[in-house]
A and B are shown apart, each in its own frame.
Chain A
Amino acid sequence: DIQMTQSPSSLSASVGDRVTITCRASQGISNSLAWYQQKPGKAPKLLLYAASRLESGVPSRFSGSGSGTDYTLTISSLQPEDFATYYCQQYYSTSITFGQGTRLEIK
C-alpha cells in the first residue's frame, strides 16, 4: 500500500492566519490526491481533488498544490468555520489510503 503521511498532526492557529498542511506519499501518485475536511460528529467533506481542483461550493481560500510525492493544502485566511480535522487521500493505487489527519485548532 502507498503510505500517506500528513504533517503536522495538529496545529494551532488564529482567525485570519495562513495555514499549510503537508501530505507526503511513499511513492509518486501523479496528482491523484484529494483533501477532505471533517468536523466533529460529521462525515468528511470533499474540498479538493486532483491535488489542486477545488470542489464546487468550496471557498476559494482553500487551495492545493504539489506533485510527485509531496502535496500541500493551504487555507489563505482562516475563518472560524475552518477549525476541523483535514485528511488527504491518494487514489493513484487501487488500494486507496488516507493520511492520518491534521487537527486544526483555535489558538
Chain B
Amino acid sequence: EVQLVQSGAEVKKPGESLRISCKGSEYSFATYWIGWVRQMPGKGLEWMGIIYPGDSDTRYSPSFQGRVTISADKSISTAYLHWSSLKASDTAMYYCARTSGSYSNWFDPWGQGTLVTVSS
C-alpha cells in the first residue's frame, strides 16, 4: 500500500526554525511529485508548493514563496517543509500528499498531517 507518514506534532516559539518531514513507502518516491497543503484551525485547504524528488524541481504558491522551503532526499524517500523563522500565524495542520504523476494533478494519498503550534 502506498503510504506517506509524517513527523509528529511540534510546539515552537515565534522566531524559531522548524523542519517537518514526510516519508513515502511502497512506491518509487523519486518519480512522483509531493505537495504540501496547509490547513489553519477551522479553515480550508491551501496549496503551498510541490517538489519532484528525482531532481528536486520545486514550485511554490505565490502566497508561500519566501516563507517556507520545500526539499527532498530521495535516498531516504523523504520530503521536508522548513521554516527559518516561525510566526504565530504559522499555527496549522500541514499535510503532504502525492500527485498521481504529473506536476499539476490530484492528490492521493495524503499523509496523516503534522500539527504545528507556534506560541510564546
Residues of A that sit less than 8 Å from B by CB: 1, 32, 34, 36, 38, 43-46, 49, 55, 87, 89, 91-101
Q: Tell me the bound Cα distance from A44 to B45 in angstroms.
A: 9
- CB within 8 Å for A49 and B104 given contacts A43-B111, A96-B35: no
Assess the A98–B45 pair: CB atoms within 8 A: yes
B-chain residues with CB within 8 Å of residue A49 when the two chains form the complex:
100, 106, 108
Assess the B62–A87 pair: CB atoms within 8 A: no
Assess the B110–A91 pair: CB atoms within 8 A: no
Q: Taking CB as reference atom, which chain A residue is nearest B96? A: A43
Residues of B that sit less than 8 Å from A by CB: 35, 44-47, 50, 59, 61-62, 95, 97, 100, 103-113
Tell me how many residue pairs across A and B have CB atoms closer than 8 Å. 57
Assess the B35–A87 pair: CB atoms within 8 A: no
Majority-rule SS of A interface residues: loop
Name 24 interchain pairs, CB-CB below 8 A, sorted by A: A1-B62, A32-B104, A38-B45, A43-B111, A44-B45, A44-B95, A44-B110, A45-B110, A46-B108, A46-B109, A49-B108, A87-B44, A89-B45, A89-B106, A92-B104, A94-B103, A94-B104, A95-B61, A95-B62, A96-B104, A98-B46, A98-B47, A100-B44, A101-B44
Assess the A91–B104 pair: CB atoms within 8 A: yes
- CB proximity of A10 to chain B, nearest CB, Å: 13
A-chain residues with CB within 8 Å of residue B62 when the two chains form the complex:
1, 95
Q: Tell me the bound Cα distance from A95 to B103 in angstroms.
A: 10
Assess the B47–A46 pair: CB atoms within 8 A: no
Q: Tell me the bound Cα distance from A45 to B100 in angstroms.
A: 14
Q: Tell me the bound Cα distance from A45 to B59 in angstroms.
A: 23
A-chain residues with CB within 8 Å of residue B44 when the two chains form the complex:
87, 98-101
